[in-house]
Each structure stands twice: as structure tokens, then as C-alpha cells.
Chains A and B, each alone.
Chain A
């Protein structure tokens, strides 16, 4: 291993070391605040390390890792999101009975798994990352052991994820059989040399789609999402919706663009179908939903449907659009789940829409934060969500994906209905709810996220500029 290799691996080393340190510390002396502070610090360090790596890229550690601007960007997003989730979890986890410090250990291992996906250039690392992430998520989802539906969600996720991983692994095996390599770039070369795909390879790609589709909650592998989002602690739902999906998206985009999947007519049609089905089924399932966590789960199905349009553009511009979209989707989703997290406590999760009745008149600040997050999810101007959606539609139209863009627009209209339904509930006359007060730190975090939603919505130029200047495959 060279010095550069080491340098490039520092964020991963930090992420791997942090849980070990925490484990050692809590075996001697348990203190929630110290663990919390240490976790935040480690995440900041991991993020800061990215800036030291930047001069050394692009760099690949054969055969598993590839560290380029694209992966750095994803690592950055993942670390920031994990940081905010940790920040928002503080009170929520503190109020739990029993073990609490372990939450942060698992947060680190799952983040490590997600981070590995962003740099994977090989099936082995791909699989390793996805498993590290999944296994950590089983624990995080079922973290409230005393709650029935938390356990139920954990078990469901465990079984379904195992099945999907089996498909994924089988698919990888078939592809290896077909091309004799597990490295993305070598598979790509083999495909271009061999010409039309053999049945073996096709079956392999199809099987992989199950595994990836499950992680991204794409139709028809989506059914777990609402149950898991509902059962998991609110900050964990936020984590699944953002970090977990973003990381899988990162590896999917890299793999798909490497093998030029968009050139294959049949794969193109299947992805289009999955995208359209996800948009419509996600949005339609949400319209009569009374539980906000389930509603956001359906919303995430639709959002991932929008996002995979990008796979079919096959251009660098498309990747840039997807990055912007992901960033805006991340902050928006974290903001929405953040409100739920901060308004919940160990006994009572603020998850029903009726809990939010008249929120504006009692807690104008939280209500405005939530309103902006929902408007951003719906893609209403002056929010980041609008620019993200616009960007995706723009690139989609440039690539001639008219049908997909049209489906996206129609299903967005359906989606608008349920976002606005929540908003009108918040602005209707005050109800009988008694929601807990929000701490200063919570308010500060929410305010910061909301401001960034607005900044990206009003003045997105600088971020688009950065993305288009540096990021590409």
C-alpha cells in the first residue's frame, strides 16, 4: 500500500475506528453526552479528511476502490447527512430506556457501509458495502426493542433484505460467469467486445435489479418501505431515506454508466417501466395516507422513480443533475423527518397527520419549517426541490425521454395533493395536540436546514457551478 492509498482511505479508517473507540469507552464508563460529542467530532473529521484527499484524486486502489471527484462528492453528502441525523437524534435517543450509546456505534458502521458503496469499483466492495449497511440497519430499525412495531419492522427488513441480497449475489455470480471479471471497468470492456448480451448476462443484470431495486424501494420491490419507515425510530427513517438510498444510487450510477446500460434496448425499457411505476404507485399510495412516516415512505418511492430517469440520459450532465437532485432531496427529507423526530418522544411518536392539526398557530416556527420541506418535496418554486426537479426534467428532455418526463409531471401533480393536505392541516384551527417543546439545538438545526433549502431554491447557481466543474464519470 502506498502513501496515497492510505491518505485516500483516511475517512474510512476514521469511520471504522470511531465505533471501536466508543465501544471501548462505554465498556468502562457510560456517558451519553461524551459519546454523542465524540460521534459528531468523528464525522466532522471524516468530512474534513475529504479536503486532504482532494489533491490526490483521481486515485484507484486496485482492484476494489476508485476515489474520484464523484465519490468525494457522495462521501461529502453522506457524511453531512449522517452528521445531521446524529444531531437530530440527540434528544430522541436520550429519552429511550435501556442502552442508548450503542446507537452511535451502529450509525458509524452503517455510514461506513454507505461510504464504501460510494467508492466501489468492484462487486466485492459493492457487496461488502451493501451488507455492512444492511446489517447495521436491521439493528437501527429495531433499536426500540420494547416496541412491537419496531421489532416487526426490523424483522421484515431483515427477511426481505436477505432475499434481495441473495438475488443480488446470484446476479453478480452470473455476470462473473459471463464476463470473467468483477471489476466494473473490465465488465464494461468485456461487454463492448462481446457484442449482444448473452442470456446468462441478462439474467445476471435482471437479478441484480432486484437487489438494487429493493434498496432504492423501486416498484415492485417497494412494499417494505412504509412498514419499515413507520416502525423505525424517526431519525433512522431519515437515515434510510437519505444515506442508504443515496449510497446505493452512487454505486448504481457508476456501474450503470460504466457498462453503458442505457444502450441496451431491453434494459432501457425495464428501467423506464420501473421509473414510471414507482412514480405513480408511490404517489397514488400516499394520497389517502394518514400516517406521516408512511406518507414520506411513499413519497420516497416516487422520488427515487424520478431520479432513475437520470440513468437513461447517459450523459455527464445527467449525472450532475442527479447529484443536485440528491442533495436537495437529502436536505428536504432530513428536514421533514427532523420535524417528526423533534416532535416525538420515547412514548409517543408524532406520526399521525392529526397530531399536526393547527400546528402553525401554536408552533409557527416548526410549522413553517415543515411546510417548506413539504413544498420542496412537492417541487414548488423557491425551494431546492423545485430546482432539483427542474434540472432532472431539463436533462431528461434534452435526452429525449419525453414519456418519462411526462409521467413525472403528471405524477407530481398527484403528489402535490398529499403534501398540501398536510400543510392545510397545519394551518387549520388549532387542535388538541400536546407536542413536546423543541430544544434550542433542534431549532437551530432545523433553521439551518430550512435556510439551505431556500438558498438552493433561490440561488442554486453556485452549487450547479461546482458540480458541473468537478463532477463527472
Chain B
């Protein structure tokens, strides 16, 4: 067997275990369910490792592994295969999906141990991993879209996992509908690409696009913008960001895997994968940077005002993906992917940590009702602290520093970068440090308000520790030029994505790093002062209108309600019984009426039946002879 065929197993294994759990779930014990659910992802993680070793060996001769599994569609000139291809970009994503995914699955065995829906849970989670792997491994854009919709479906199912609570169902529908807006734009973009170039293969599409479309031509701009809309919806960026905070209604492992580490970064993947298209549309690419900068600020402020532990993390996720978009927008492709990977580590860690806290405090989400947990649950505290430090990009020791700093530097120094983008980034970094340590000081320090009802087991803490280690040392795969000058990660990514173009501004990187280090530390210090040392300083702000405004996510929900939801509901209300409904209702009424009429003839009497013969032949002969 060709070695590259193994990559088809990556999505196949979780898909298979999904089928097993879905079809035979009733017959499995809870233990077996966890074993199959987490075990399959473990196998896939191992497989990824094997494939990665093989891949590194064959570099730089072979940069892509491709395997065609099946002919999917063959109609007219639309020929689509179920075929996968693996390059450095998808490898990084596969690595995160399978490894972080495996840790989260392990954690879930303990987290969901008492939940009656554990079989359903693992079935959905495995389906999610399968879809996500299809998304990142697809070699044509239609298969990518299949994975894209698959993860959307799983996200919907898992947000509404505890469906008996109506609010959860509402959150699930909200996420589904809002991302659908982006998806609709995206499929139109895909149609345009297919109609213009007659293929759906991503590689061919990109080659053809850069050969045939002029840079800045309107068709390129429109197509890129449509794909961008899809990415904005999936990655919860402005203006389609409103679904993610509500998505926290799902179980915490779901938030960690889907709404932090993997699915929400699918937009980043899409843009990186189709980067040539975006290079042809500089306007759109610049818009990505602007959207990223705005999103990271708006979400940063919102995170600062939240009371719910998971909502803080949700806004933080939106904000951090904003950084990735900023990097994509200025052409710092590998920086975006680097931050994606590091973010997956520390954000999964934070969500899992928050999950433990919430679980042991009997579903308490409000941080102001927590406190003093440092002593009660030391492992969770230390790992959460490391996660927050990495999120705040504390200099030198945390991975987040290396990834975020690279973005900040390129936001200024790349060819399309500017001082304004950098300022947005640095303000965001300050906010990040502030809200991260606000969590730490309020939740883990001070006097204890609620006591934990039990201690988290090893199955939960071990994944935390592993993720904490990764959040610290994960950054050393890429060190800045100012010190270390060690670039294996960007070298790897540059096999696929273009190198960032730098303006000629001299070697100022060290200065920028110092500045951002200082800013981050200031943020932490300020958090220490106003949330721990003198809480009265922040108390007055807590009740201000501005704080309310931030807490409600800058009023976007309200805005969309008044602008879109209310008019649409009103319109459909007055249009309830329109002409088209009459047609349907009329048809069914008519059918029922005729049914009772015709039924009379079916009375079982032979003479009636014979009569209908006679009438029939009479009609036929009359008609045929009367000409």
C-alpha cells in the first residue's frame, strides 16, 4: 500500500467509530463508549504522528501527499472525487485536531461520566473530528465544504446537547443560522469558482485564478469577499461574531474542542488555503486585517465585562482569532497558523480548566461567586495560571508571547501593515492581560465563596497538565530574529504559504518586543491592583452603563434584532397565508374532497364496476369515432 493512502484513514477512523456509537450505542456500556470514543481519536493521533514523521522524511522532495479514495460526483463537467491531500498546512491542523482532540476526549470520559447522554456525546464528538479532518484534508473545495457543513452540524448538535433546556436549543439554532449566512455566501463563491474554471480542485483553482484573473479585478474581489464571508461566520468575526458567546451553552469539552481549538479556526484555514485568491484581491485582504483588528478590540472589551467564566473565554477566543485574521490580512500567513496552534493549546487548557471549576462548584458560572480556589484545587489553579499567562503573552516563558508577538511585529512591519493596526493589536494585548488576570484573581484568590463538592480525578487533570506544558514550550518551535533566530515552524509552513514581505524599516523588532512585554506585564499588574488589591477601584465601573454595553457584546444582538429579526418576523407574520400556501392547502383540501367522492365508487358492488367499464368504453368510442 502506498504510504500516502494512510491519510484517508485519518477521517475514516473517527467516522467509523461514530457509526459504531450511533448504531450500537445502546448495546455498549458507558466504559466501552468512552473507550471507543476516545480510543479512536487516540489511534488517529498516533497515525498523525507516523504520517508526520514520514512527511518530514520526504521533505523537501515531496511536499504534498494525495490520495483518491472514491469518485463522488460525475455529472456533466462536474467531476468531484473523495480525495485527500496533505501538506504542511493541513499537517499542522491535523496535529492540533487529533492531539488536542484526544486530550479533550480523554477529559470528557471523566467530565461526562455521570451524564446519561454520554453515548450521544461521543458519537457527535467523533463525527466532529471526522468532519474537521475532512475539512482540512480535502483536496477539492466541495469536499472541503462537506467537512465545513459537517462541523457546523456537529457544533449545532453539541451546543444544544442538553436539549431539555430551551435556552440551549435557542443558542444552538442561533449558531446554526448565523454561520449559515456566511456559508451561503461561501457556496456562491464556490459556484463562481467552478463556473469560471470548470474544476473544484483547490490547487488547480488557485493556479488558474492567478493565471487568468488580474490582480484587483472585480471578479476576484467578489469571489474572495464571498469566501471571506464564510470564514467570518465560522470564525465568529465581525459582523457575524454574535453566536459564539451563546454557544457556551454546550458542555465545556465541546467549547474547548469546537469553539476554541478547532472549528472556529476553520475560517483561518480557508483563507490560508485559498491565499492566492486573496492576494489577487488586495482590498479584501486589507479588509481582513481591519476586521481582525476591530474584532480583537471589541471582543477584548466585552471579555473584560463578563461575569460568566465561559463567556469571558468565549470573547477571548473571538479576540484571539481576531489576531489571526489580522495576521492573515497583512500577509503574515505562517504567523497566523503559528498563533492558531498555540491558541489551541492554551485555550483548550483554559476551557477544560473552567469546565472543572464549574463542574465541582455545581454548575456555578458566575466568577463573583467563586474565589479562593487556589488552595482547594492546586493543579487546576497552576495550569489555569499557565494558560492565562500564555494568553496574556507574558514574555519569554510562555508560548503565547512568541506567537502573538510575531503577529504584532508583522502588523507593523509587513508591506501592508501600518502603525494603526499595530496600535489596535497592542491595545488588545493590554486588554488580554487585564481580563486574563481578572479571572485569575477573582476566581482563585481572595476569600472562598463556594466550596468544591468533589475533587477532579486524574483523567481530568492529566490533560490539563499536558496542555499546560505545551502552552509553555510550544512556542520554542519558532523564535524571533532578535534572539534565537530559530524558524523551523515558518520554514515548514512556507512550503505551502507565501513568505511575509517586510518593509525596509531597519531592525526594530527588539524594540517592539520590549514594548509589548511591558504592556502585557502592565496589564497583569493593573489587574492585580484593581481586582485584588483594591477591588473598590473596579467596583464603580462594574455598574456603569459602559460596562453593561460591553457585557452585552456592544449591543450587536439588539442591533440585529431590530434591524433584521423583527422585520423578518413581521413580514412572515403578515405573509402567513399567501397565495403559495393557498395552493398547498387547496391541493390537500381538494384531494380529500375528491377522496370522499371517489370512495363512493369503491363500494364492492360488481354492477358498479361493470358500469364503469361501459361508461369507459362509451367515452372512448364516442371520442374516437366522432371526428
Contacts of B624 in A (CB 8 A): 202-203, 205-206, 266-267, 270
Restricting to B580-627, which residues have a CB under 8 Å from any CB of A? 587-588, 591-592, 594-596, 598-599, 601-602, 604, 606, 608-610, 612-613, 615-617, 620-621, 623-625, 627
- Beta-carbon contacts of A293-329 to B below 8 Å, as 1s and 0s? 0000000000000000000000000000000000000
Q: Give the complex CA separation of A441 and B233 in angstroms.
A: 53
Q: State whether A210 touches B613 (Cβ < 8 A).
A: yes
Q: Which of A19-27, A280-288, A398-406 sits within the interface?
A: A280-288
Asked if A414 contacts B623 (CB within 8 A), the reply is no
- From the candidates B592, B595, B598, B613, name the one contacting A164 in the complex (CB within 8 A): B613
The docked-state distance in angstroms from the alpha carbon of A226 to that of B609 is 12
Whether A160 and B623, one on each chain, are in contact in the complex, defined by CB atoms closer than 8 angstroms, is: no
Confirm or deny: A2 has a beta carbon within 8 angstroms of a beta carbon on chain B: no
A413 at interface (Cβ–Cβ under 8 A)?
yes
Is A213's beta carbon under 8 Å from chain B? Answer: yes
How many A-B pairs with Cβ below 8 Å? 81
Contact A285 to B595, CB < 8 A, known contacts A159-B606, A160-B606: yes
- In Å, the complex CA distance between A267 and B591 comes to 28
Q: Which of A199, A223, A226, A284 contacts B591 (CB 8 A)?
A: A284
By the criterion CB–CB under 8 Å, are B620 and A288 in contact? no
Closest CB in chain B relative to A115 CB, distance in Å: 28
Q: Are A209 and B609 within 8 A (Cβ)?
A: no
Partner of A288, one of B592, B610, B616: B592
A220 interface residue, CB < 8 Å from B? Answer: yes
- The residue among B591, B615, B623 with the most chain A CB atoms within 10 A of its own CB is B591
Contacts of A163 in B (CB 8 A): 610, 613
A213 to B609, CA, bound (A): 13
CA distance A377 to B621 in the complex (A): 34
Contact of A223 among B602, B617, B625 (CB under 8 A): B602
Contact flag A203-B591 (CB < 8 Å), given A221-B612, A223-B612, A285-B598: no
1/0 per residue A217-244: CB within 8 Å of B?
A: 0011101101100000000000000000
A420 CB-CB contact with B under 8 Å: no
Q: Is the CB–CB distance between A220 and B623 below 8 Å?
A: no
Give the residues from 142 to 165 in chain A that come closer than 8 angstroms, CB to CB, to chain B.
156, 159-160, 163-164
**Minimum C-beta distance from A420 to chain B (A):** 13
CB-CB under 8 A for A227 and B604, given A160-B610, A202-B625, A270-B623:
yes
Q: Is A199 touching B587 in the complex (CB atoms < 8 A)?
A: no
Residues of B within 8 A of A199 (CB): 625
* Residues 161-206 (chain A) with a chain B CB within 8 angstroms: 163-164, 167, 199, 202-203, 205-206
A410 within 8 A of B: yes
Give the complex CA separation of A199 and B622 in angstroms. 11
Q: Say how far A138's CB is from chain B's closest CB, in angstroms.
A: 15
Residues of A within 8 A of B627 (CB): 266
Indicate if the CB atoms of A206 and B620 lie closer than 8 Å.
yes
> Does A426 have its Cβ within 8 Å of any Cβ on chain B?
no
Asked if A206 and B612 sit within 8 Å, CB to CB, the answer is no
Residue pair B602, A221 in contact (C-beta under 8 Å): no
Q: Please tell me if the beta carbons of A210 and B617 are within 8 angstroms of each other in the complex.
A: yes
Across the two chains, which residue of chain A brings its CB closest to B603?
A: A223
Q: Is A207 among interface residues, defined by CB-CB distance under 8 A?
A: yes
**Closest CB-CB distance, A276 to chain B, in whole Å?**
13
Chain B contacts for A7, CB-based, 8 A: none
CA distance A284 to B587 in the complex (A): 11
In the complex, A288 Cα to B594 Cα: how many Å?
11
Task: Check A451 for interface membership: any CB of B closer than 8 A.
Answer: no
- The reply to whether B617 and A206 form a contact with Cβ atoms under 8 Å apart is yes
Partner of B606, one of A156, A219, A285: A156
Residue in chain B with minimal CB distance to A413: B587
Q: What are the residues of chain A within 8 A of B587 when measuring CB–CB?
A: 410, 413-414
Q: How far is the CB of B596 from chain A (nearest CB, A)?
A: 8
Chain A: minimal CB distance from B32 (Å): 21
List of A residues within 8 angstroms of B599 by Cβ: 285, 288
In the complex, residue of chain B having the shortest beta-carbon distance to the beta carbon of A155? B606
What's the Cα separation between A63 and B588 when bound, in Å?
52
Cα distance, A285 to B600, chains bound together (Å): 10
Highest count of chain B CB atoms <10 Å: which of A156, A167, A220, A227: A220
Docked Cα-Cα span, A219 to B595, in Å, equals 15
Q: Which residue of B lies closest to A285 (CB)?
A: B598
- Majority DSSP secondary structure for residues of A touching B: helix
Contact, CB under 8 Å: A210 / B616: yes
Q: Which residues of the other chain, A, contact B595 by a CB distance below 8 angstroms? A: 284-285, 287-288
Inter-chain CA distance A299–B558, complex, in Å, is: 53
Contact A224 B625 (CB under 8 A): no
A202-B617 Cα distance, complex, nearest whole Å: 12
B:491-521 near A, CB below 8 Å: none
A417–B590 Cα gap in the complex (Å)? 14
Which residues of A are found within 8 Å of B623, using beta-carbon distances?
266, 269-270
Which residue on B lies nearest to A205, using beta carbons? B624
Please determine whether B609 and A224 come into contact, CB atoms closer than 8 angstroms: yes
CB distance from A258 to the nearest CB of B (A): 19
**A206 proximity list for chain B (CB < 8 A):** 617, 620-621, 624
Taken together as a complex, chains A and B put the C-alpha atoms of A159 and B604 apart, in Å, by 13
Q: Report the nearest A residue to B601, measured CB to CB.
A: A223
Chain B minimum-CB-distance residue to A152: B604
Bound complex: CA of A417 vs CA of B592, how far in Å?
11
- In the complex, the chain B residue whose C-beta lies closest to that of A219 is B616
The distance from the CB of A152 to the nearest CB of chain B, in whole angstroms, is 8
Inter-chain CA distance A163–B611, complex, in Å, is 11
Closest to A149 in B: B604
Among A415-446, those with CB < 8 Å from B are 417
* Most chain B beta-carbon contacts within 10 A, residue among A167, A223, A266: A223
From B604, which residue of chain A is reached at the shortest CB distance?
A: A227
Interfacial chain B residues near A266, Cβ < 8 Å: 623-624, 627
Roughly how many angstroms separate A219 CA and B602 CA in the complex, as a whole number?
A: 12
Residues of B within 8 A of A410 (CB): 587
Contacts of B620 in A (CB 8 A): 206, 209, 270
Contact code string A458-473 (vs B, CB < 8 Å = 1, else 0): 0000000000000000
How far apart sit A213 and B620, CA to CA, in the bound complex (Å)?
A: 12
Note all chain B residues with C-beta closer than 8 A to A223.
Answer: 601-602, 608-609, 612
A-side contacts of B613, CB under 8 Å: 160, 163-164, 167, 210, 214, 220-221
Measured between alpha carbons, how far is A283 from B609 in the docked complex, in Å?
19
Q: How far is the CB of B310 from chain A (nearest CB, A)?
A: 37
In the complex, how many angstroms separate the beta carbon of B580 from the nearest chain A beta carbon?
14
Q: Is the CB of A287 within 8 A of B609?
A: no
For B615, the chain A residues whose CB sits under 8 A away are 220
Question: Chain B residues with Cβ under 8 A from A417's Cβ?
Answer: 588, 591
- Please tell me if the beta carbons of A167 and B617 are within 8 angstroms of each other in the complex: yes
> Chain A residues with Cβ under 8 A from B608's Cβ?
223
Please, how many angstroms separate the alpha-carbon atoms of A163 and B625 in the complex? 22
B591 to chain A, nearest CB (A): 5
Cα(A206)–Cα(B608), bound, Å: 21
| Contact A226–B617 (Cβ < 8 Å) | no
Which residues of chain B have C-beta atoms less than 8 A from A283's C-beta?
591
- Measured CB to CB, the closest approach of chain A to B26, in angstroms, equals 11
Question: Which of A203, A224, A284, A288 is in CB contact (< 8 Å) with B621?
Answer: A203
Q: With A159-B606, A160-B606, A267-B624 given, is the CB distance from A284 to B594 under 8 Å?
A: yes
Interface pairs (6), CB distance under 8 Å: A160-B610, A219-B616, A220-B616, A223-B612, A227-B604, A266-B624
B interface residues, Cβ below 8 angstroms from A: 587-588, 591-592, 594-596, 598-599, 601-602, 604, 606, 608-610, 612-613, 615-617, 620-621, 623-625, 627
Closest 4 CB pairs of A and B: A220-B616, A223-B609, A220-B612, A206-B620
Known: A207-B617, A213-B616. 9 other contacts (CB 8 A): A206-B624, A214-B613, A227-B604, A270-B623, A280-B594, A284-B598, A288-B599, A410-B587, A417-B591
Report which A residues bind B (CB closer than 8 A).
156, 159-160, 163-164, 167, 199, 202-203, 205-207, 209-210, 213-214, 219-221, 223-224, 226-227, 266-267, 269-270, 280-281, 283-285, 287-288, 410, 413-414, 417
